[in-house]
Structure 1
Amino acid sequence: MTDTPTKAAELLHLRGQTLTKGDPIAPPITMASMYHLPGEPGGVPGYGRADQPTWEATEHLLSHLEDAPALLFPSGMGAISAALFATLHAGDKLLVPSDGYYNVRKLADLFLSGLGVEIIERPTAAFAEGGFEGISVVFIETPSNPGLDLVDLAATCEAVRGAGGITVIDNTTMTPLGQRPLELGADVVVASDTKAPGGHSDNLMGHVASRDPALMERVRSWRTVAGGIPGPFEAWLLHRSLETLPLRFATMCATAKALAPRLAAHPAIALCRHTSLPGDPSHNLAATQMETNGFLIGLTLKDAATAEAFIDGCPFLRPATSFGGVHSSAERRARWGDEVAPGFVRLSIGCEPQEPLWAALKEALDRL
């Protein structure tokens, strides 16, 4: 397994190891769309849609975290789209989770199916049922968003590879610090760096990582040809945020683990999902494939009105979609059509001190 603390320490000094006297410690923001390019092109930056020094600085950090080449995209869905368009062909079958992030299913239904890709859906908790024969690409989200069910990554990736398919793992909820799909046999990792890696709710970004050079070249070609490129300032913001990710992520996960049993014991909560809880269906598997239990908690309250009252009644919760910010946030996910109970709340724990956060959560729950 990866030595995560050492990797986190190294992250802070990656750029520093390349500097010469007088260089800035922080990377500069290169805004150029054109480069000085006399004579024949090649070997130097040529045009801003293909070459961008600020992207490369951020990709250096992401590649270090993933232990694999990484490419930056302007959103998590940009990264997912690139990975799928780089691996699928007309006539292929794509397996996606029926209970994962809904935009992946929308991409598949609205666009990939029209290009001749057959879409198969399965719930995360029963993802391996039916096997993987004849399926070209298997897209896995574990823990699932929002239900927090798990897929056995090592067993599934081995089975998919044995059937001749490719695995694409969405690791958004855990980040490379909490789960390492490539080490468990995945072919490709995608993630929304808008979430915990960015962490401040002010930047859309995503990345693709893989140890397959040919596959990564196709991903790079997709980005260049299709034009789904990140802005240099946004790339710089992510670079800045990645340097504090280990601290923020550790705080968020520790607080979530401390609060989960308290939330589970509160009479207003019918069901609490967090993989640290001994009775959680994902508890045992999480212990074998995740380095931490994450910062997301699933709460089921009596009904939609009760869930909304809880969210609106807590001063230390921001009612917002997305997750992973320094501010704790919560959302009733059924409002987007997710197949969860009307009172299900996805709670994203932020960086607030544990006890004041718990006091605010408990007060809001006690008033229900």
Structure 2
Amino acid sequence: MTGFDTRAIHAGQDPDPATGAVIPPLHLTTTYKQDGVGGLRGGYEYSRSGNPTRDTLQTALASLEQGTRAMTFASGLAAEDVLLRTVCRPGDRIVLGGDAYGGTYRLISKVQEPWGVGHLPVDLNDLDAVREAVAPETTRVLWCETPSNPLLNVSDIAVLAEIAHAAGTLLVVDNTFASPYLQQPLTLGADVVVHSTTKYLGGHSDVVGGALVVADAELGERLAYLQNAAGAVNGPFDAWLLLRSLKTLGVRMDRHSANAGRIAEWLLEHPAVGDVLYPGLPQHRNHEIAAKQMSGFGGMVSFRLRAGEEAALRVCERAQLFTLAESLGGVESLIEHPHRMTHASAAGSPLEVPADLVRLSVGIEDVDDLLADLDQALG
């Protein structure tokens, strides 16, 4: 198998046979001429069912995650919805990490649960608790984010896979924070990888999307059926933008990780900061697991303010180079208050995040400029 960066640039992206164009064409079409009734060219009939640009993206993502098949969607939550409706039935249960993304928790607790699918949050670092929670016959999915959003906990994917498979359960790993450049969960035993491609895969804050990548071809067929039947696919231009972005994923993640590591170390020494959450720090409780299963520690840093929630809000409001905004993974640095922004839907639940927490999506700017901005914001 060729290297990651080579596959990011070339997998599924041979030069166009008609023109020799080195960039895959953008197929902005809804339908395709048939050579007689049922005479499909390349299997294409309607762009919800299949589009060459989207297929190229799916081939590339399957290669990067070392899976058998990838499916892309209009958003990360659309991907999650198709996955859960494919594998879960009334009476089933989902076990998920106790600090999962608020949108995932909302989908499970407010959309899936009224249809009879239960859920149980658990600390994925407490392996005995995970074993107890993953009940054979009823637990259909063990849902893991690693690193998690926004507390940056890291779970041992290989061990969770053993626990899940012993109970006949699927292990689903949200790999959004790491990206396939830093971590490939399918090679560690996971069954499904989930991405919000809006984030690091897109990388430029200009496209919304989601993806599923699977190890098992039969499961891929089932997911692809609902991808078409429910229709929440990404458009061809969105797919083309993502293909463009994949080509620089490796070099971007190197800079994101380097900048985040510098900032995390700087925050450790700041008197206003009580705790720094970054898996690259030796003090992080999951540092050894992260070092074992990741090739770098990513661009996300969270920290807690000693003076509490109001101090956290002031830091978010005072930051200038760090833009106050939701989302993450773009080339520009962002700052947010998860308790009131991205994770507001988890307020009052077992997944509620601390009110004194600030989350940084560290971009690829000059790190000294980022440090100067944090210094004045914390001052």
Q: What TM-score results when the alignment is normalised by the length of structure 2?
A: 0.91
After superposition, residues 21-32 of structure 1 pair within 5 angstroms as 22-32=19-29
Instruction: Tell me the residue number matched to 2:297.
Output: 293
> In 2, are the aligned partners of 1:124 and 1:144 still within 8 Å (CA)?
no
Offset at 1:364? Answer: 2.1
> In 1, are the aligned partners of 2:154 and 2:279 still within 8 Å (CA)?
no
Out of 127, 133, 136, the residue aligned to residue 135 of structure 2 is 133
Offset at 1:226? Answer: 0.7
Return 264-273 or 121-130, whichever deviates more: 121-130
Instruction: Tell me the residue number matched to 2:7.
Output: 10
Amino acid at match of 2:65: E
Q: Deviations over 1:260-310 (max 9, x none)?
A: 111111001111111111111111111111111111111101222211222
Out of 258, 262, 265, the residue aligned to residue 262 of structure 2 is 258
SS at match of 1:96: strand
SS at match of 1:12: helix
How has the CA–CA distance of structure 1 residues 128 and 28 changed in structure 2, closer, same or farther, with 3 Å as cutoff? Answer: farther
CA distance in 2, matches of 1:203, 1:355: 28
Out of 270, 274, 298, the residue aligned to residue 270 of structure 1 is 274
Q: Deviations over 1:44-72 (max 9, x none)?
A: 21112101111012112212211112111
Instruction: Tell me the residue number matched to 1:190.
Output: 194
After superposition, residues 1-368 of structure 1 pair within 5 angstroms as 6-14=3-11, 17-20=14-17, 22-37=19-34, 38-40=36-38, 44-68=43-67, 69-126=69-126, 128-131=128-131, 132-134=134-136, 135-301=139-305, 302-335=307-340, 336=344, 337=347, 339-365=352-378, 367=379
SS at match of 1:209: strand
Q: Deviations over 1:182-237 (max 9, x none)?
A: 01100010110100111111110111001201101111011100111111111111
SS at match of 1:333: coil
> In 2, are the aligned partners of 1:86 and 1:222 still within 8 Å (CA)?
yes
Offset at 1:21? Answer: 7.2
Identity %: 33
Offset at 1:125? Answer: 3.6
Offset at 1:73? Answer: 0.8
Offset at 1:342? Answer: 1.5
SS at match of 2:276: strand
CA distance in 2, matches of 1:34, 1:276: 48
> In 2, are the aligned partners of 1:304 and 1:332 still within 8 Å (CA)?
no
Amino acid at match of 1:133: A
SS at match of 1:46: coil
Instruction: Report how many aligned residue pairs link the two structures.
Output: 363
Amino acid at match of 1:57: T
Q: What TM-score results when the alignment is normalised by the length of structure 1?
A: 0.94
> In 1, are the aligned partners of 2:182 and 2:294 still within 8 Å (CA)?
yes
- Unmatched segments (≥5 aa) in structure 2: none
CA distance in 1, matches of 2:45, 2:16: 24
CA distance in 2, matches of 1:158, 1:202: 38
CA distance in 2, matches of 1:175, 1:220: 22
SS at match of 2:108: helix
How has the CA–CA distance of structure 1 residues 227 and 307 changed in structure 2, closer, same or farther, with 3 Å as cutoff? Answer: same
Amino acid at match of 1:255: N
SS at match of 1:159: helix
> In 2, are the aligned partners of 1:128 and 1:156 still within 8 Å (CA)?
no
Offset at 1:16? Answer: 5.5
Q: Which has the higher contact order (CA 8 A, sep 6+)?
A: 2
